[in-house]
A and B are shown apart, each in its own frame.
Chain A
Amino acid sequence: MSRLLVEGLWKGYGRQPVLRGVDLDVPAGSLTSVLGLSGCGKTTLLRVVAGFERAERGKVGLGGRTLDDGRTFVAPERRGIGYVPQEGALFPHLSVARNVGFGLSRDERRSGVVDELLEMVGIAALGDRLPHQLSGGEQQRVALARALARKPQALLLDEPFSSLDAALRTRVREEVHTLLRERGVTTVLVTHDQEEALSLADSVAVLRDGRIVQQGSPADLYERPVDERLARFLGAVNVLYASFLGERAQTPLGPLPVSSGAPLGDGAGAVMLRPEQLEVRPQGEGEGVPGRVEECRYYGHDALLQIRAGDEPGELLLARVTGAEALPKGTPVRVRARGAVTPLS
């Protein structure tokens, strides 16, 4: 399998630049997710990598081969890159089997490869159907089988699960994940769903305003985002003012260790704490800063508590506790932070 490398990529439509110097590194055999809001240029990035559009500046390479650098341009049919668009985009005039076999030679089609592929994605019985006779999930599977048929060196998935309803989405997502893992295909998954990106990918790259603002492991991004906007994009967050002293930050919740990585001088700034990092106990049972539950959102598996804590007027904090630990509004509590805080720029 091959490593996909995008360096300093620029691309625009008319005068409007969409991508402004994108750097993306997809290690061989990994699943890397490109996460961003709609309109941030995710699809454009995939289209340039697939060869449907030409890069204006920068370079696209796969497994050491240059695909597009301004001088050379490899046509999409010679790139060995599979593409699964949103909604699947199955050829409406061809049966499922013919869709899957579209990129294969006649001999390959006759060798039973198509049946194997259909079996692999779990729809062996549907080969003779036409695309409009399939459900959304089935269409996605066919689109995936079609893209994998030519054994591509890399696979691009453009929001492949967004058209599925919630229950089906989780299932198809899991199956696709397992399948790609088994085959070890270098994969780029584009999505606007942070949960999807974090749960599926080995590496997540966040695309914002035409640039990758951060790329790293899911945990890296979630725990140590580069700025507050990214922190909030990836999940709920508490932002506290702190003064730094050496390796520790003095916060309204007391002195807390600062996550490694960021070099710190003495001074003041903002730090973030995820709601899961707060430990909330009824007063008398725990330690920490005293406070009071102002709001309780119960979700079953867990609950979000809004707590006012510390000296008057008090800091408004968000804490995530298990469903069993939910506390009613008005309960006096004690709040304590676990783990390290991350400074935000």
Chain B
Amino acid sequence: MKKVFVILLLIIVGYFLAGTFNLIPFGENRIAGNDQGEKVASYYLHNTKEKTSVANVVTAIVVNYRGFDTLGEVTVLFLATTGLGSILFRRKEDDEEVERINKPSSSLVTTGSRILFPLIALLGIYVFIHGHLTPGGGFQGGAIIATGFLLMLLSYKNFHASHKALTWVESLAGISFVMIGFWGLISSNSFLQNIPEVGQLNQLLSGGVIPVIYIAVGFKVAAELTGVLDILLNIKPKK
């Protein structure tokens, strides 16, 4: 029974691979070149504005044209975090105090980081919400939010990022990315197809699926990196 499934899967994969390779002429340069929208690179540069109405061409390529690759990239980060967590995570014993920092921070540091944290989080959220309009996107915004959490973890002794909340945020964001992809696949035969209208150039609600996916990616990356930092900071230093 298992072998039948494997053979069936191989046949399906082979069929689609053969179909894909049939469309690509062998040995022909389709990537670089100065043609007006003939080759792939110049096609992106010339057609992104009209077809997807996204001002940031990099974002349009990363999330729209190459959205499936971005899903793989997100999966790589997820697997790296999971591996680190499974190696280093340890449950605290009841009366154990983990010494994250040796000396308590001064009130200058704690007050400063308390004021800075919302501003850093706001900058991160701005970066990933405006991913299709300004430079930046989900990964950058998520990393900025994680640095804000890092500031809080370093300056407050009893500030803890709740692992349950981080897991929920991460899972929901990942699932919504895949669901948006399948939504496009079901309704118009292409993974991550732009189902919402692409809208007007330079509007906040434009660019089809890009803002939705970048919000999901931003939350996911922020949760993963914060989890990594929290796990690493809670290791007991060797005496």
Indicate whether A and B interact. no
